[in-house]
Amino acid sequence: MFKSLLLPTDGSPAAEVAVRYGLDLAKALGGRVTLLTAVDLSPYVLDGGEGYLPELLEELTAEARDTLERAKALAAQAGVEAEAKLVQDRAVGSICREAAGHDLIVLGSHGRGGLVGLILGSVAWGVVRQGKVPLLLVRPDHQWTGAPRSFLLPVDGSPPSVRAVDRGLELAKALGAEVTFLHVLPPAHTRARTRWQEAVRETGRKALEAAMAAATAAGVPAHTRQEDGQPADVILQRSGDYDLLVMGTHGRGVSELWLGSVTQHVVVQASHPVLVVRP
């Protein structure tokens, strides 16, 4: 169940968009939230600057308290039960540790372009890589118009995909949303690849059937699509027609090997909110 949401915030405009999204989502789910702000002194620990740390800590703590007060006011306005926490720690570590007691993290991404860490923001990218619970990433320019009612859920039959189907259906059922399962068949350019492609097509067909069976069992309205093309490109093209994109990760290591190359590309480039599900 998605009843306990963690909403980290640093007071930035991107974070506020995500906090508002998370509060509206929590209200639709009948859940509660924890508002989290971290005071991180590590960027200021330089040779010869230690004597200024107490003053810096006091200043940063005051700013963090102001950030939490603004977030608490938004929660009160939304009518959502909220707890506020201020910790002295690095942002990524504090978010991942606090997330252990929650069902979902809702986090803003910077959307600034360039390298992966710059596109998502270093904190968002760190949580994507290190987090253990589902993470919902919200772009700073997202226009939130209510709880998501349509999900796009790519499937390929892999264990991460199956896990994403389970969690995606759980959230869709709680919100009264409908789901579209998408399988994308990569192009074939040689005879051997054509035979491989037919095997992938059959795997995709079975994955779609299994996903539809799971949706029926969960009582969630669902549809299927099977298309040809580069998976990441097709997913991104279709995602604009839906309120929420749900992606699974491989959980096998670091960077693209950990996330999966398709998921990494989609998470970085998607213009709509993305729910990233760990295996």
What are the average pLDDT values for consecutive 10-residue runs of the chain, which has 279 residues?
Answer: 94 91 96 95 69 84 95 97 94 92 90 40 80 91 81 93 96 98 83 76 94 98 95 93 91 43 84 89
Indicate whether 182 and 83 sit together in one domain. no
Count of the separate structural domains present in the chain: 2
29 and 93 assigned to the same domain: yes
The whole-number pLDDT of residue 56 equals 84
pLDDT of residue 119: 42
Considering the domain boundaries, does residue 13 fall inside one? yes
- Out of 90, 112, 138, a domain closes at 138
Beta pairing class for 135-138 and 274-277: antiparallel
What six digits make up the tokens of 162?
Answer: 């199956």
Q: 197 and 132 share a domain?
A: no
In this structure, the answer to whether residues 176 and 237 fall within a common structural domain is: yes
User: What pLDDT sits at residue 48?
Assistant: 59
Q: What pLDDT, on the 0 to 100 scale, is given for residue 192?
A: 61
In a domain, 264, yes or no: yes
8 and 77 belong to one structural domain? yes
Structure tokens given for 155: 């499937």
220 and 125 both lie in a single domain:
no
Instruction: Say how many CA atoms lie within 13 Å of 41 toward its Cβ.
Output: 16
Q: Which residue range is the domain that position 108 belongs to? A: 4-138
Same domain, 67 and 181: no
Among 138, 168, 202, the domain-final residue is 138
Give pLDDT, residue 252.
42
- 122 and 162, same structural domain? no
Q: Is 198 contained in some domain? A: yes
Same domain, 120 and 163: no
Give the pLDDT of residue 47. Answer: 58
Structure confidence at residue 31 (pLDDT): 97
Whether residue 154 is found in the same domain as residue 47: no
Q: What is the 3-state secondary structure (H, E, C) of the chain?
A: CCCEEEEECCCCHHHHHHHHHHHHHHHHHCCEEEEEEEECCHHHCCCCCHHHHHHHHHHHHHHHHHHHHHHHHHHHHHCCCEEEEEEECCHHHHHHHHHHHCCEEEEECCCCCCCHHHHHCHHHHHHHHHCCCCEEEECCCCCCCCCCCEEEEECCCCHHHHHHHHHHHHHHHHHCCEEEEEEEECCCCCHHHHHHHHHHHHHHHHHHHHHHHHHHHHCCCEEEEEEECCHHHHHHHHHCCCCEEEEECCCCCCHHHHHCHHHHHHHHHCCCCEEEECC
Give residue 110's pLDDT: 67
